[in-house]
Structure 1
Amino acid sequence: MPLLRQTLLVALLALAIGTPAAAVDMPVPASGIPGVSDAQLSPDFWVARLADADKLVLDRAAIAALNERVARLDPSMHDIRHLPATLPRAQVTGWIGKLTTRPTKPLFDAEGKPVDASTIDAILGNAALDAVPAQVTPRYGMAVRRAALRGYPTDRRVFSRAGDTDIDRFQESTLFPGDPVVAVHTSKDGQWTFVVSARYAAWVRSDGIAYRDAAAIFAHADATPYRVITGAKPKTVYTPEAPAVSELQLDMGTRVPLDTTAPPDQPVNGQSPYTSWVLSLPVRDAQGALSFHPALLQRNQDSAPDYLPLTRANVVRQAFRFLGERYGWGHAYNGRDCSGFVSDVYRSMGVQMPRNTRDQSISPGLTHTLYTDKDSHEARLKAAMALEVGDLVYIPGHVMMVIGKVDGQPYVIHDVGGMSWKQPDGSLRRVVLNEVSVTPLLPMMFSDDATFVDRMTSIVRIR
C-alpha cells in the first residue's frame, strides 16, 4: 500500500519537526476507524505477522521474580499475607481516607441533578471513620462473587457532568471470586466493609465477603491442582441445587482450585461431572462464614491447567478475547476499563500488575521508560516506531497494548471511549467506541493540536 507508506512518512516528518500532525490519508472504512479492515479484527491476522510468535518472553521463574519485585517495590500493592495481628488506627483511616473524602468538584446523579451537600454528608457519615478503634484486628476473608470495589460506602452512582453517565466517580475496581482480602472496617449501616486486597483497598458490599482464618484462606488460594480461566468471562453451569455457585462468572486470569474429593462417577449438584471440571468455590453462609462448595465448569469453556505461557501470540490472542466488550470504568458494566483490560490479559499468563493506569505507568517493579515535556517529538516518535508486541503505551488516564505493525505503522488494542483523527480539511473527526478496539496509534489525536504520541508518558515492557 504505497499511499499508506507515503502518509506515514508525512506524519512522521510532521511530528519530528514539531508541526501539527498531518491529516489522515488512509483508507477509512464504514466504521470510521482509519486503516482497520475486517481482517485486522482477528487475532490470527496479527499472530501470522510475528516471526517469533510462540517464543517465551518470560518463563515461570522470571514471572515469579517479576511479581515478587512488583509486590515488594510498588506502593500501590498490599502484602496482606504478612499483616500484624493488629493495625493502628492511623493505618486504617489512611487507607480509607485515600478514597473516602469530601468531593472538591460538583457531582451529578443519574438524572443529571446536582448531588447536594446533605447527600454527601450522609455518605461520609456512613463511613463512620470516628468509630475506627485505636487498634484494629483485621479479619481475613474471601470474595464469593464478582463484587464492585467502591470509593464510598454506597451504591449511588455519581458523575462529573450532567447527562454523562458512563464514568461513575464512586466506582474503583472489582474483586473476583476467590480473591483473598482483609476486612478492616464496617460502615455505620453495616452494609459495607472496607477491605484490602493485594492490589486495591476500597469498600465492598458486606455480603460479598465470607470469613475464615488466614491459614484456610491462603491454603485455598494456593491449592493445587487448579484451573486458570483463560476465556473473557465464562460461567459455571446452572444448578438449582446450589444457587450460590450456579452460573457464577469467572473472569480471565482467575485461578480456581479443583475439588479433588468429588468421586468422578457421582453427580455434582445433580449433574455428572465427566464433561466438566469440578471446581472448589467459596460460599458465604448466613452468618458470614466461609466454606467451599463444588461447582462445574464445562470443559468447552476456556480454562487451562496452569497460567498460559507468556508469548507474543498468547498476548495477542488473550487481548482479542475482549474485542468488542463494553468499556466499564473500574470494571463496571460487567466489563473493565483500559488498565483493567491489560492487567487481566497479563494475569492469564501469571503476571500480577498494579490495578490503575498511573500506578502501572510508573511502577518501580516494572520495566518502563518515562517521557516528560523535555522529550522531543523525534524522541517520542522513535520510541513509538520501536514498540514491540505486548508493550503498554501510556498517556494521561489511558493505556494501550501494542499488537503489531502494518506497513511500518504501529497498531494497538485498547479499551477506549473513542478515537479522534485529523481529516483532510484539518478538522477532527471523533468516533465513539466505548469498547475494546483495534486502532492505529500514530493518527490518534489527544487534542486539537497534540497526538497520543505527543502526550505519551510511559512505555512499559513486560520483560
Structure 2
Amino acid sequence: MKKFKLKSILAIFFTTIISTSVYAAGENHTQFKSNVPKVTEDMMKADFWIKNAKDKDKIIMDKASIEKYNKELEKKTPEVVDLKNYKEVFNKEELTKLIKDLSSPSSSPRYDKDGKLITEFYYNKLNENLNLESLKEENQVKYGITVRRTLMKTYPTHELLFKEGDDYEFDRLMETAVYPLEPIVILNTSKDKKWYFAQMYNYLAWIPAEDVAITSKDELFKYIDTKDFLVATGKRAFTVYNPLDSNLSEIKFDMGVRIPLASQKEIGDEVYGQNTTGNYVVKLPIRDDSGKMVLKYALIPRSEDVNIGYLPYTKETILNQAFKFLGERYGWGGMFNGRDCSSFIMDIYRSVGINLPRNTGEQGRKDPGKSYDMPKEMTLEQRQKLFDDMNPGAAMYMPGHAMLYLGKYNGEHYMIHDFSGFYNKEKDGSYKYYKSRQVMVTPVTIGSEDNGKTYLEDLYLGKEFILDK
C-alpha cells in the first residue's frame, strides 16, 4: 500500500512539473517574424493604435449626419445610387449601351485557367449570352434581393480569365463580391436564364440568378427598412446550423451587412426545434421554387460578433473594425471569400452606416468629405507634415490602391491595408519584392517600386468621411 501511494505521489509530482513547464513555455512562446520594416508585434493590435489616438471615443457623426452624408454621396457620386428612386423603365438604346459599356472584350490578351489564349470566337459566345436581341423598345425593371454571398461579373459566366502570369489570383472578369440581403434592381436576363444584369447601390454588373430572390419594390423595401436590425460587426457572422432547412443554415454575413430582426410578437419558444433563448431571431429571404422571395425566421447566436443597429462612428470603432481583418488573404474583387483594398475600406465604414463607392478611384474623389490633397509636386517633408493633421481612421488613396491611416508613432506614420506586396532595400542596395497578399500594418514609407519609391510618394489624397464644412 505504501509503495503504491509513493508511486502515485511521484507520478502526480512529475506530471505537475511537466504540465507547468509546458504552460510556462506557452506563455513565453514568440512566433513573430516580419520582413516589414519598422513594424513590431505590439503594432498588430487595435488597442495599440486606439490608445495612441486623441479623442478616440468622440462621436464623429451621429445617425442623422450619416444619413445626410449618404445622401450627399449619392448626389455627387454617379456610381452610388438610390435604389428606391431608381429609373423603372429603360428603352432599348439606353439598356444596350449600359450592357455594352460593361461587357466588352478586353483590348489586352486574356487567358483561360489552362493558359490558353482567348479568341474572338470565345468573346462571341459571351456576347451572345448578353441577350441583347430580346430587349424591347421599353423595358420594365424588376426587383430582387441576394440570399447568400455571391459575385458580380463583367460577363454572364462563371468562367475565369487572366492576364499572363496571374493564373489564379486575379480573375479579370471579376467585378465585385456581393453580400447577402443586398437589394438589387434587375435590368436584363441572360440568354441562358442563369444571370441577371443588375444594379446594387454602388455597382452595375451580372449576378447569378440562383443567388437572387425576386420580389416587388414595395415588399423589398418594406423588408429592408425594418426598424430593428442587426449589423454584422465581425469579419464574418453566421446563422446557427439548421438541420431542417439548408437555406437558413450557417449563412455567412460579411462585415456591415444589415440583418432585419423579427419583432417580439413574431418570436415563439423555438425556431426549427431550437430554443430562441441565447439567440437573435432574424428574418431572412430565401428563394421559393419559382425564384420569388419568401421570408423565414433564422437564429444568430448572441455570441456572434453582431450589434443591434450600427456601431458609433468614432476613431476607436474604425480602428477596431480594421484590425478584425488583420491577416485575411487578399481577394481581388472579393475572390477567396475575402476582399480587396477598396472593399476593406468600404466594409469597415458600412459597420457605422456609411455607404461608400466600391472602387478606389470613386472613393478617392474629393467630395463629399474632408480632403488632404497630395499633388505630385508636394515634397516628402510637406507630405509628412500633412499627416500630422490627419485623423487616425482616415482613408488614403494612390492610383489603384486604398489604405487606412493608423497614426504616428516614434516619428513614423503607419497604415493598415489589404495589398499585394512591397519592396525592401537589401544590403547590396537592390530592392527585393515581398508578397503580402493580406491585410497588414506597414509604415507609409514602405517601398512601392523597385527604384526606391515609397507609398508615401504615390499618395494623392487623404480623406475623412465627414460632412463638408
TM-score under structure 2 normalisation?
0.89
Give, in whole Å, the separation in 1 of the partners of 2:181 and 2:328: 23
Q: Show CA shifts across 1:43-81 (max 9, x none).
A: 111112123211111121221111110012111112221
User: Partner of 1:7 in structure 2?
Assistant: none
Q: Show CA shifts across 1:148-194 (max 9, x none).
A: 01111101111112354211110011222111111010111111111
User: Partner of 1:26 in structure 2?
Assistant: none
Counterpart pick for 1:268 among 254, 271, 289: 271
Aligned residues of 2:372 and 2:386 also touching (Cα < 8 A): no
Shift, 1:265, TM fit: 5.1
Greater Cα radius of gyration, structure 1 or 2: 2
Aligned residues of 1:70 and 1:366 also touching (Cα < 8 A): no
- Aligned pair count reads 435
Aligned residues of 2:141 and 2:185 also touching (Cα < 8 A): yes
Does 1:98 find its partner at 2:98? no
Alignment of 1:65-84 (within 5 A): 65-84=68-87
User: Partner of 1:414 in structure 2?
Assistant: 417
Q: Helix, strand or coil: the match of 1:57? A: coil
Extract unaligned runs of 5+ from structure 1: 1-28
User: Partner of 1:22 in structure 2?
Assistant: none
Q: Helix, strand or coil: the match of 2:210? A: helix
Does 1:299 find its partner at 2:334? no
Does 1:380 find its partner at 2:389? no
Alignment of 1:11-160 (within 5 A): 30-160=33-163
Extract unaligned runs of 5+ from structure 2: 1-31
Alignment of 1:141-220 (within 5 A): 141-220=144-223
Q: Helix, strand or coil: the match of 1:228? A: strand
User: Partner of 2:29 in structure 1?
Assistant: none
Greater shift, 107-116 or 173-182, is seen at 107-116
Counterpart pick for 1:287 among 287, 290, 299: 290
User: Partner of 1:340 in structure 2?
Assistant: 343
Q: Helix, strand or coil: the match of 2:336? A: coil
- Which residue identity lines up with residue 38 of structure 1 in the other structure? E
Shift, 1:276, TM fit: 0.5
Q: Show CA shifts across 1:419-443 (max 9, x none).
A: 2132343211322111111111113
Q: Helix, strand or coil: the match of 1:379? A: helix
Shift, 1:366, TM fit: 3.3
Q: Helix, strand or coil: the match of 1:113? A: coil
What's the RMSD between the two structures over aligned residues?
Answer: 1.7
Give, in whole Å, the separation in 2 of the partners of 1:407 and 1:371: 23
User: Partner of 1:430 in structure 2?
Assistant: 433
Give, in whole Å, the separation in 2 of the partners of 1:272 and 1:93: 51
Greater shift, 186-195 or 77-86, is seen at 77-86
Give, in whole Å, the separation in 2 of the partners of 1:190 and 1:141: 15
Distance 1:47 1:68, change over 3 A: same
Q: Helix, strand or coil: the match of 1:193? A: strand
Greater shift, 278-287 or 426-435, is seen at 426-435
Give, in whole Å, the separation in 1 of the partners of 2:212 and 2:393: 34
Distance 1:294 1:386, change over 3 A: same
Aligned-pair identity in percent equals 32
User: Partner of 1:239 in structure 2?
Assistant: 242
Aligned residues of 2:279 and 2:300 also touching (Cα < 8 A): yes
Greater shift, 67-76 or 356-365, is seen at 356-365
TM-score under structure 1 normalisation?
0.90
